[in-house]
Amino acid sequence: MSQRHAPTTLFVDFDGTIMKSDTAQIALDRFGDPNWTRIDEALERGEVSFEDSLRQEFATLRAPPETIIQEVSGKTGLRPNFDRLVEYCKVNHLTLKILSGGLDFCIRHFLDNGDWLKFLTIYAPESKFTGTGYSLTFPTPLTVSATNFKADLVRHEKGNGTRVVFVGDGFGDLPAAKESNFAFAIKGSRLAELCRQLNVPHDEIDDFSQVVDALRHGIPQIQ
């Protein structure tokens, strides 16, 4: 199948991308170890894998899901026109998958809008509250590198002959953005900065209508 006629899958990050703010960061600031940001710093230095950074951070969260949802609900919301992207994908038979390292119960809470949860596929670690923190189980059996499941899933999708468009914002999104056929990065985000530095093909957005418009008119790099 030619690249032009290959099916297209959109992988979209949740925290800081679909959401205007990072729900996991809000939860960690309120209920986690005050020094949790040192784990993110270790991730950027290459001292810990993406998966292990999430395990270590969420293990410090001392609040059940309902308390975390209540905390974050009043502090952030959906980025403009995500509903438009969902509808565009439905009408045009594009596959839309949420690819997140965030808390799965937060993702389901904010995306519980009409039939969105029936249409969307969510790839995120399954979290289990132990009473003193959260244990995580990452999506299987597609994870092969055990270092960044987002990049693994993008690579797997491309291996099936699918064009992949990725939308994200963070350092942990960089491997997936590099693996994709084309990436969108949130303006002002760490991912946008890194894509510019590393010459990763991308556009910078702050509204999902920009993604819809790009898809409608065709993204040259993936035609």
The CATH fold assigned to 8-19+78-222 is Rossmann fold (3.40.50)
- Read off the pLDDT of residues 195-221 as tens digits, 9 standing for 90 and up: 999 999 999 999 999 999 999 988 766
- What local confidence, expressed as pLDDT, does residue 139 receive? 81
In the three-class reduction of DSSP (H, G, I as helix; E, B as strand; rest coil), residue 68 is classed as helix
Alpha carbons 88 and 11: distance in angstroms, whole number: 14
Q: What's this model's pTM, rounded to 2 decimal places?
A: 0.93
| 3 touches 223 (CB < 8 A) | yes
Domain boundaries, the chain: 8-19+78-222
Task: Over range 104-116, report the average pLDDT.
Answer: 95
| 174 touches 194 (CB < 8 A) | yes
Please list the residues that pair with 136 across neighbouring strands. Answer: 127
Alpha carbons 180 and 200: distance in angstroms, whole number: 10
Q: What is the mean pLDDT of the chain?
A: 92
- Read off the pLDDT of residues 84-102 as tens digits, 9 standing for 90 and up: 999 999 999 999 999 999 9
Retrieve residue 7's tokens: 């099916």
| 43 touches 57 (CB < 8 A) | no
